[in-house]
Copies of this chain bind each other. A is one copy, B any other.
């Protein structure tokens, strides 16, 4: 009897530990299969291959993908996310502590973004309609923080060239 119960438990354990296919990861993580291919190529996640050359994933990858998406929503570019993830231990499965460090790292950036946007909103209220926008002293026209303004998109657009040489 006991052996029967044990084998049941083992079955479940085995199922739980069973590696995931790309399709499964895509489904559960809510991303496209092509995205997983892409993340792997960029070194954000890893996998191994089965005998037929198909990708297999450890369950841990689900959390990784979640973290990637959360970080992206805060406006952090993939490259930075990759760097942050690279600080996670490779040998052992990352612990709660490991993840918390990442969280702390990103929380600061998020706060900065929020502050910048808040300042911008306050200035927008007072500034955009008035005459000062056409004058050099307007805070909107000459923001102190000219680099790394806004998320991946805007950051890309404001660093190279135009802003460096002007503004």
Interface residues of A (CB under 8 A from B): 26-27, 29-32, 34-35, 59, 62-63, 66-67, 69-70, 72-75, 96-97, 99-100, 102-103, 106-107, 110-111, 113-114, 117-118, 120-121, 124-125, 128-131, 133-134, 138, 140-141, 143, 149-154, 156-157, 161-163, 165-167
B120 touches A110 (CB 8 A): yes
Contact A133 B63 (CB under 8 A): yes
Q: Smallest CB–CB gap between A68 and chain B, Å?
A: 11
Residues of B within 8 A of A131 (CB): 96
Beta-carbon contact of A166 and B32 below 8 Å: yes
Instruction: Output the nearest chain B residue to A140 by Cβ-Cβ distance.
Output: B70
Question: Are B129 and A100 in contact, CB atoms less than 8 angstroms apart?
Answer: yes
Check A27–B166 contact: CB distance below 8 A: yes
A111: nearest chain-B partner, CB-CB:
B121
Asked if B106 contacts A74 (CB within 8 A), the reply is no
Tally of this chain's copies? 2
Per DSSP, chain A at the interface is helix
- Report the Cα distance A107→B129, complex, angstroms: 12
On whether the beta carbons of B124 and A103 are closer than 8 Å, the reply is yes
Could you say which of A32, A107, A121, A128 has the most chain B C-beta atoms within 10 Å of its C-beta?
A128
